[in-house]
Amino acid sequence: MSTAPLLEVWGIGKRFGGLQAVRDLSFEMARGEVLGLIGPNGAGKTTVFNLLSGFLTPDAGDVRFDGRSLAGLKPHAICRLGLARTFQIVRPFPHLSVLDNVRVGALAREPRMGEARDRARAVIERVGLGAKAEHPAAGLTLAERKRLELARALATEPTLLLLDEVMAGLNPTEIEAIVALARSINASGVSILLIEHNMRAVMTLSHRIVVLSFGEKIVEGAPAAVANDPRVVEAYLGEEYVHAPAR
Amino acid sequence: MAVGLTLIFGVMRVVNFAHGDMMVWGMYLAWLLSTRAGVDPYLGFVACAAVLFVFGVGIQRVLVDRIVDAPHEMQILLMLGVALVLENTALVAFGPDPQRVRSPLRAATIWLGPVFVDVARLVTFALAMALTLALYLFLTRTDLGHTMRAAADNAYGARVIGADVRRVYAVAFGIGAACVGAAGALVSPIVPFQPAGGLGLSVASFNIVIIGGMGSLPGAFLGGLIVSVAESLGAVFLSPSMKELVSFTLLIVILLFRPAGLFGRPAP
Amino acid sequence: MKWVVAAAVALLLALPAWLNSYAVTVFIFIFFYAFLGQAWNIVGGYAGQLSAGHAAFVGVGAYTSALLSARLGLTPWLGMLVGGALSAVLGTVVGYLGFRFGLRGFYFVLLTVAFAEVCRIVALNTDAVGGALGYYITFTGDPRQFQFQDNRAYYYVALGLMLVATAIVAAIERRRFGAYLIAIREDEQACEALGVNTFRYKMLAMVVSSFLTGVGGTFYAFYLFSLQPSSVFGIPLSVEIVIRPIVGGAGTVLGPILGSFILSPLAEASRIYFGQGGWSGAHLIAYGLLLIAVVLFLPQGAYPALRRLWLRSAR
């Protein structure tokens, strides 16, 4: 396996009117890694995701994925290259069944409808939604919708998966399940970049963590180190977050 | 006329495709009043506005209310349906031929500086300005007006603070309809009108509102001026039947480059 | 299901033997508007891009083949392809402008209406195509010139058009193209994140749709023999095109056909009962009411509702 970094972010920045949402952000991801992206609300994390996945264009800097610059590429092209994302507020195709939802993702790699359907079914089983394959997406619970969102992105057979607060709004049991799922996905060779507020989940899943505050990277390192870094605690002060050290 | 449309859109984010046809009904009502009751449209417009207000509230309560949260395609289609019904009921009731309303002011003209001006048009203009100003004051100075603007900005938030959003919507639609009814009545002595003109007027209203900016009152006003001037220039420099071409081209350009219009807020 | 379809087609093929000329005419319009509705269905129903200006493509196709026939003697059988191609060019322009500039929903509707109206005004003012008086085609009854003596010939042509368009839509629905269009209609941004080039597929839908509609324009020209800008480019025609798929079921294969079978007879019936002369009339009131009813109670159209009923009763 190549040791070159999978993702290289060089000094990207994004401004909205008077607000500098992201400022001079640089970091790398190695193949097979799970990188956690944390920071208080408004730190710019989803903006980073939008910049990486092509929904926004950086004002400055560059993003290289698998050695190749993503500058100017549209989201669909970036997805085709192997970088898939989920949305913070899940957006299933409401009138389509779970299976048809995931099939749209599978069609990115397999243009034949029948085969794509089979692949979609496999992914659905893997995320544990097998029983609901024929259900319309609109009728699912939140936890199920999160899995659906995950399954859809997974069906595009990404090398790097961006998970945006996939655990938000879930109860502890559901969170445990998603964490296990993420781990198994990572074990199968998919690198994961996740935004998450649930500290326990982030600490257990991530190999490394990048901390953002007001659009800038303030700390980067192993979970244990980051958890104890005073700068991180300070960034979160004023918000009710409890750091759970890695178990 | 455009002011009414922008109000409806601004408050409820519903695009009223039946706008033009409501205006045509305003015109016909004025005509009825004039021929049957001998009421001059410059006085009768109040009645037209009132009737259309009631109609607007009715439409809103019965139909529009159900689809306020529906996808936009549905709203468009619904109002298109209403437009079709209005237009063709007028057709059945009044016949397809163009009509005009007689007003004693029609024939009078006065000098205004270096220009010959129709008194009728002058009065129409003045009354339209007055009504627009009244509406503006209503929205900015009265409680109901404030509530309306609040609902326009944030319907959910407005509900939270206790505003009866449905009622506000109904009133907004009603006022919008009243505006256009009044507009119809005021314009009836000047231009010939016929049932088939409804959709054309709707499109013209959209033209104005898009150019000026959806949801913005000053925008609608300014848009109206711009479009009229542009069309008149077009009629002079190109040819009378091409003047619509000017406003449509303007519409296309604005849609492409600045769909929010001059003053407007972006569409949902 | 396939049996039902085959039987229905066979029935329609055999029908003219028992019908009088008036009834044949009614069916011709059912088929023809179903064809136009089906063409619209691709971009309006499946892709969800509501176009209220499809009459523009009918007009372009109609005038093109009419002029080519008159000036160059080109048989409309080929002329319809040229007409379709030109309509597709217009469709490309409209689609490109609309999609590249991100116009959605209401704004896109307005764009399509604006283009159709521009076409109408241009045609109205261009004497070369007859201007306000319209363009007339001389009747020769020559089949090689797409003209037929017998009404029944037009019946089969119209039926053929409808079946071809339906086959195309069915093929689209079965393939990735169709799945993508449906997904685009549901949520474009989510599609982008799943590797769907939404711009390309919307454009493709627009091109196919406008091409087919343009081909239909030739039928219009050589069946009615007179082209008036306000009829052939006008909003009323666009309404006729759009309402059938909407009522019957936008985004379904059978929707436009069902819609046409509902609406054309309705139009004829009200035309008879109310006796208003000419083109617009009471039947449009019925259209309007039906449209309102569909939006409020059956937003997906008649066909999906019927299907649900059928499935439920089959249990």
* Chain segment A149-161, per-residue pLDDT in tens: 999 999 999 999 9
Contact B81 C289 (CB under 8 A): yes
Judged by CB atoms closer than 8 Å, whether chains meet at C196 and A108 is answered as yes
Residue A195 domain flag: yes
Asked whether residue A73 carries a pLDDT value surpassing 90, the answer given is yes
Residue A89 lies in a domain: no
Q: Which of A93, A112, A156 to mutate to probe the C interface, most C CBs <10 Å?
A: A93
A19 or B90, higher pLDDT: A19
- How many domains does chain A divide into? 1
Q: How far is C309 from chain A (nearest CA, A)?
A: 18
| Cα distances (Å, whole numbers) of residue C301 to A172, A211, C245, C308 | 43, 51, 8, 11
- Chains B and C physically touch (3 or more Cβ atom pairs below 8 Å): yes
Tokens 């003053």, residue located: B263
Q: What is the ipTM of this complex?
A: 0.87
Nearest to A105 among C176, C194, C198 (CB): C194
Q: Is residue C278 part of a domain?
A: no
| Measured distance CA(A63)–CA(B205) in Å, rounded | 46
Lowest mean per-residue pLDDT among A73-82, A111-120, B216-225: B216-225
DSSP state of B240: G
User: What does the alpha-carbon distance between residue A104 and residue A97 come to, in Å, rounded to a whole number?
Assistant: 11
Q: Name the token pair of C36.
A: 């136009």
Residue C79 CA to chain centroid, in angstroms? 19
Q: State the count of interchain CB pairs (< 8 A) between B and C.
A: 123
Answer whether residue C237 is part of any domain. Answer: no
Q: Are strands C135-136 and C226-227 parallel, antiparallel or unpaired?
A: antiparallel
Q: Cβ(A43)–Cβ(A22) under 8 Å?
A: no
How far from each other are the two terminal CA atoms of chain B, in whole angstroms?
Answer: 23
Would you say residue C73 lies in a domain? Answer: yes
Q: What is the DSSP string of C236-275?
A: HHHHHHHHHHHHH-TTSSSHHHHHHHHHHHHHHHHHHHH-
- Secondary structure letter of residue A55 according to DSSP: S
Full domain range(s) for residue C164 = 2-231
* CB-based touch A/B (3+ pairs, under 8 A): no
Q: Does C311 touch chain A (CB under 8 A)?
A: no
In the Cβ-directed half-sphere of C305, how many Cα atoms lie within 13 Å? 15
Long-range contacts of C151-157 (CB under 8 A, 24+ apart): C151/C21, C151/C24, C151/C25, C151/C28, C152/C16, C152/C24, C154/C28, C154/C223, C155/C16, C155/C24, C155/C27, C155/C28, C155/C31, C156/C13, C156/C16, C157/C219
A119 belongs to a structural domain: no
Burial bucket for residue C94 (CB in 10 Å: 0-12, 13-18, 19+): buried
Query: Which residue's entry shows tokens 């000329």?
Result: C21
The pLDDT value recorded for residue A178 is 92
Whether A147 maps to a domain, the answer reads no
Neighbours of chain C (3+ CB pairs under 8 A): A, B
Residue B56, pLDDT score? 77
A207 assigned to some structural domain: yes
Residue A195 has pLDDT above 80, yes or no: yes
The Cα–Cα gap between A90 and C64 comes to 48
C107: which chain B residues are within 8 Å (Cβ-Cβ)? 210, 255, 259, 267
Q: Determine the Cα–Cα distance for residues B72 and C309; give it in Å rounded to an integer.
A: 27
Q: Please, what is the angle between helix A113-127 and helix C176-186, to 10°?
A: 50
Is C171 part of the contact surface with chain A (CB cutoff 8 Å)? no
Taken in order C293, C296, C300, C303, is the CA torsion positive or negative?
A: negative
Spans of chain B, pLDDT less than 70: 1-18, 20, 24, 26-28, 30-44, 64-65, 67-72, 96, 99-122, 124, 145, 147-166, 188-192, 194-200, 212-221, 231-243, 258-268
Task: Tell the residue number behind the tokens 């409020």, with chain if given.
Answer: C296
Contact C106 B92 (CB under 8 A): no
Q: Do the chains contact at C193 and A85, CB–CB below 8 Å?
A: yes
Q: How many CB atoms lie within 10 A of CB B191?
A: 12
A246 in a structural domain? no
C193 interaction partners in chain A (CB closer than 8 Å)? 53, 55, 75-76, 79, 84-85, 87, 153
pLDDT at A245: 47
Chain B neighbors of C97, CB-CB under 8 A: 252, 256
Question: Is A113 within the bounds of a domain?
Answer: no
Q: Give the domain extent around A64.
A: 7-82+158-236
Q: What is the pLDDT of residue C164?
A: 95
Q: Decide if C243 is inside a domain.
A: no
How far is CA A27 from each of CA A65, A211, B130, rounded to the nearest angstrom?
12, 11, 62
* C159 is a domain residue: yes
- For residue A63, the model assigns a pLDDT of 94
Q: Annotate A82-120 with b (16+ C-beta within 10 A) or e (fewer).
A: bbbbbbbebbbbeebbbbbbbbbbbbbebeebeebbebb
Residue C46 domain flag: yes
Does residue A138 fall inside a structural domain? no
| Spatial distance between the Cα atoms of A139 and C223, rounded to a whole number of angstroms | 49
Q: In A, which residues are within 8 Å of C179 by CB distance?
A: 100, 103-104, 107, 113
Give me the number of domains chain C comprises.
1
Q: What is the pLDDT along chain C (315 residues), one digit of tens a residue?
A: 778 888 888 888 888 888 888 889 999 999 999 999 999 999 999 998 889 899 999 999 999 999 998 888 888 899 999 999 999 999 999 999 989 888 877 788 888 988 998 998 888 888 887 777 888 888 887 888 888 888 888 999 999 999 999 999 999 999 999 999 999 999 999 999 999 999 999 999 999 999 999 999 999 999 998 888 888 998 889 988 999 999 998 889 999 999 999 988 888 887 777 655 544 466 777 788 888 888 888 888 888 888 888 888 776
Q: What is the pLDDT of residue B268?
A: 38
CA distance B81 to C273: 21
* Whole-model pTM over 0.90: no
Secondary structure element (H or E) that encloses residue B56, with its range: helix B41-62
Q: Where does the pLDDT of residue A247 fall: very low under 50, low under 70, confident under 90, or very high at 90 and above?
A: very low
C183: nearest CB among A104, A112, A155? A104
CB contact under 8 A, C190 and A87: yes
Percent of chain A residues past pLDDT 70, beyond the cut: 95
Distance between CA atoms of C177 and A113, rounded to whole angstroms?
Answer: 10
pLDDT of residue C36: 96
B89 with C105: Cβ contact below 8 A: no
